[in-house]
Structure 1
Amino acid sequence: MRRTLSDDPRDVGKALFGERHDRYFWFLHTLGWFSYGVLFWISNYLAGSPGRYWVHIVFLSATGWLLSIPLRYLYRRVWNFKPRTIVIIAILACLVVGMAWQLGRNFFFYAVLYPNRAPDAWSGYYGYVVATVPILAAWSCLYFGIKYYRMLQILNEKALKAANAAQQAQLKALRYQLNPHFLFNTLNAISTLIMVKENDTANRMVGGLAEFLRYSLENDPIRRVPLEQEVRAMQKYLTIEEIRFSDRLKVHWQIEDEAKGALVPSLILQPIIENAIKYGVAGKLDGGNIWILGKRFGSDLLLEITDDGPGLGQGKSTSTGLGLANSRERLATLYGDDFAFTLSPHEPSGLTVNLRIPYQTEE
């Protein structure tokens, strides 16, 4: 059974044998044989070879350059064969090409440069064939080595692209997973308003919902947005919630000017604010307060959402729920270990959610 180098070997083949890599081959091929000729000339010069010997070296390098080209096209044909088959073919090919190379070299040496020293029989022209095989074998090893290195680069690039695509799909799933929960609460509130004949309030909530959803759908969950833009989106969201809770919900914004340009994941604050409303405001007859803080601290951006509800362990579930869990997972996917997401009690009552992410103003 023939082995394959990727899910689609033709893609790797195009990358390995494309026009750009043809240029690389000719450059490296010529450079290699030129270096071989230079080293051969230096060794013979130091050994005191005759002055005309450089002509022989030029001919030897040129014929080596020419005769090794067919090896390239042969190796292309057998590229996807089994390794053992490739090794056998390469050895036989090096022997055949080595015989042709040595025959040409000896013929030029004896018939052109030094005709008086020509051997009596044709068998003499095949002398030192074995000496050419290691040179061609080294050329073959370099060819396969460079090709395999390039193949690994291509496969690594494909793996990185696949991982990036999977990460983006994961981020989108986490972001969009939050919307049905929010929609259910809002539509349920609209239905209640219609049932009690508060049509004007219901219309305002529908308008606010449409505006917030338009923003949510128009913004790619993969891209990050300036904090100032995120704040405007949250104000649209809170407009809907303020209609639901009337004067029972009080929101206090404390966003420093330097923090407004910092990039944050799109709608990262929404599930945290929703959590604060659900547990900190909805359960209290007199409502509650939510404080939203944003500031720069050194090389980090600090975000803090605080409510004055019962807090963890005081009538509030110790589970962070889907919204906070998804928010933490989104941050982990985007920032790896370079973030912090902590829950802490707020005195005298309530919960504070702290986010720390790198302070960045450009993607």
Structure 2
Amino acid sequence: MTRVTADRMLWQSAPPLRSATLLILGANLFTLAVFTVQGFFRGPADLYEALRLGLPMMIVDGALDFLVYVALRVTERVPPTLRWTAFVLSVLGVAMLQSFWDTELRQMTGVLVYPYRAAFIRAATLNTYNTAMVGALLAFQGAYYALRRNERLLDQARQREREAQMLALRFQLNPHFLFNTLNAISSLVVLRRTDEAESMIDRLSSFLRGSLAADPDRMVAVEDEFEMLDNYLEIESVRFGERLVSTVELPPELARAQVPPFLLQPLVENAVKYAVAPSRSPVTIAIAARQQGGLLELEVCDSGSDAMAVASGTGVGLANVRERLRLNYGDEGTMQLSRPESGGFRVTLTMPLRIAATPAKAPPLAA
């Protein structure tokens, strides 16, 4: 939505009937109160006149004010210039009708002090001002409701955009992983290593099933995230054999900590691609979860060389993870890159620690 369109929608709005009714009623009651207080201070005669004229005058004037609301409602979808014109004409028309009624009422009750024409002009001046104020209040009230409505629509649009971004990021599986895995399965079949091929197919199926079934807006437990990573590393271990060594550190108290699904998979995939694949010697990929100062820290560290560590920072995996942290946690989610003294590459994610309640066990069945 452009700025011009938004501004036009604000001007072309009209408040709900109930809110407009309360506004018109409040404005006329305020005018009646001012009219009565003015008569009170002027003396008994003026007070009697205010009480005698004020109520019927405000009832009819208030009813006529609804014509301004009707004009705002009817012209909601016309261009702003035409609507301004209709608004001004409705204010002037309502003011003239109110002035005619006020002057006639004074004449019928015998309290017409000025000549009829002068009394009408005096009433027209006051009613034009009052009706314009009521019309302006109705227009501002409509703009307020339109602004609230547009804010809700904008929030919904942002939420849908966030969901689409998260879905796209989570499904950004590396095509090389699928290609290499299928190629490894094909090689095992050719070599008649059917048991290993079958095991690799089962783990690939489990990995992909979990990837496709996971809800991008639903958090998962760290233990489930680590289990999915274990499936992934088992698949890769068929390709790399003893060159791939993995360790997992998960304290029991953090097993139910909530994290976005597949948050660590791009980091582990990066470690495999840039540290394990080029190496001729065993490379360890360590995955750990820790609690630091009320925050949850997740770490993926590989023991590859420094050159491999530099390369691992150039892939899309880090950008993917950084963006998902921003979408889920804002400024509370951070990613830190470092190189251990022993070599390799380390990625540390920090986010708020949120632990889900352990599901209650079902009570034993009665004997």
* Other-structure match for 2:300: 305
* Other-structure match for 2:209: 214
**Residues 297 and 351, structure 2, Cα contact 8 Å, conserved in 1:** yes
1:83 to 65, 80, 83: 80
**Number of equivalent positions:** 350
* Other-structure match for 2:351: 357
Q: Distance in 1 between matches of 2:247 and 2:54?
A: 85
Q: Residues 236 and 314 from structure 1, CA distance in 2 versus in 1: closer, same or farther, beyond 3 angstroms? A: closer
Q: Determine helix, strand or coil for the equivalent of 1:317.
A: helix
**Residues 245 and 285, structure 2, Cα contact 8 Å, conserved in 1:** yes
1:326 to 295, 307, 320: 320
Q: Determine helix, strand or coil for the equivalent of 1:305.
A: strand
1:67 equivalenced with 2:61 (yes/no): no
Q: Distance in 2 between matches of 1:79 and 1:59?
A: 31
* Other-structure match for 1:250: 245
Alignment of 1:40-119 (within 5 A): 40-48=35-43, 49-112=46-109, 115=110, 117-118=111-112
**Residues 289 and 308, structure 1, Cα contact 8 Å, conserved in 2:** yes
2:23 to 22, 28, 35: 28
* Other-structure match for 2:231: 236
1:200 to 195, 198, 217: 195
Q: Determine helix, strand or coil for the equivalent of 2:332.
A: coil
Q: Distance in 1 between matches of 2:107 and 2:309?
A: 102
1:337 equivalenced with 2:331 (yes/no): yes
1:160 to 135, 155, 162: 155
Residues 323-345 of structure 1, C-alpha deviations (whole Å, 9 max, x = no match): 22222222233333332212211
Q: CA deviation at 1:238?
A: 2.3
Q: CA deviation at 1:222?
A: 3.4
**Residues 301 and 356, structure 1, Cα contact 8 Å, conserved in 2:** yes
Structure 1 letter corresponding to 2:51: W
Q: Residues 46 and 257 from structure 1, CA distance in 2 versus in 1: closer, same or farther, beyond 3 angstroms? A: farther
1:174 equivalenced with 2:169 (yes/no): yes
**Residues 223 and 265, structure 1, Cα contact 8 Å, conserved in 2:** yes
Q: CA deviation at 1:119?
A: 6.8
Structure 2 letter corresponding to 1:171: M
Q: Determine helix, strand or coil for the equivalent of 1:189.
A: helix
Q: CA deviation at 1:188?
A: 1.6
Q: Determine helix, strand or coil for the equivalent of 2:348.
A: strand
Q: Determine helix, strand or coil for the equivalent of 2:311.
A: coil
1:38 equivalenced with 2:33 (yes/no): yes
Residues 143-174 of structure 1, C-alpha deviations (whole Å, 9 max, x = no match): 11111222222223222322222222222222
Q: Residues 302 and 283 from structure 1, CA distance in 2 versus in 1: closer, same or farther, beyond 3 angstroms? A: same
Q: Residues 219 and 134 from structure 1, CA distance in 2 versus in 1: closer, same or farther, beyond 3 angstroms? A: same
**Residues 271 and 312, structure 2, Cα contact 8 Å, conserved in 1:** no
TM-score (norm 1): 0.86
Say which is worse superposed, 343-352 or 203-212, in terms of deviation: 343-352
**Residues 107 and 125, structure 1, Cα contact 8 Å, conserved in 2:** no
Structure 1 letter corresponding to 2:352: P
TM-score (norm 2): 0.85
**Residues 24 and 65, structure 2, Cα contact 8 Å, conserved in 1:** no
Residues 192-223 of structure 1, C-alpha deviations (whole Å, 9 max, x = no match): 21122211101110011111111111112233
* Other-structure match for 1:148: 143
Q: Residues 36 and 5 from structure 1, CA distance in 2 versus in 1: closer, same or farther, beyond 3 angstroms? A: farther
Q: Residues 42 and 260 from structure 1, CA distance in 2 versus in 1: closer, same or farther, beyond 3 angstroms? A: farther
Gaps of 5+ in 1: none
* Other-structure match for 2:341: 347
Q: Residues 38 and 259 from structure 1, CA distance in 2 versus in 1: closer, same or farther, beyond 3 angstroms? A: farther
Q: Residues 76 and 258 from structure 1, CA distance in 2 versus in 1: closer, same or farther, beyond 3 angstroms? A: same
Structure 1 letter corresponding to 2:336: T
Q: CA deviation at 1:270?
A: 0.7
**Residues 212 and 233, structure 1, Cα contact 8 Å, conserved in 2:** yes
**Residues 5 and 80, structure 1, Cα contact 8 Å, conserved in 2:** no
Q: Residues 79 and 57 from structure 1, CA distance in 2 versus in 1: closer, same or farther, beyond 3 angstroms? A: same
Q: Determine helix, strand or coil for the equivalent of 1:336.
A: helix
Residues 31-89 of structure 1, C-alpha deviations (whole Å, 9 max, x = no match): 22222222332233233333352231112221121011111111222234343433333
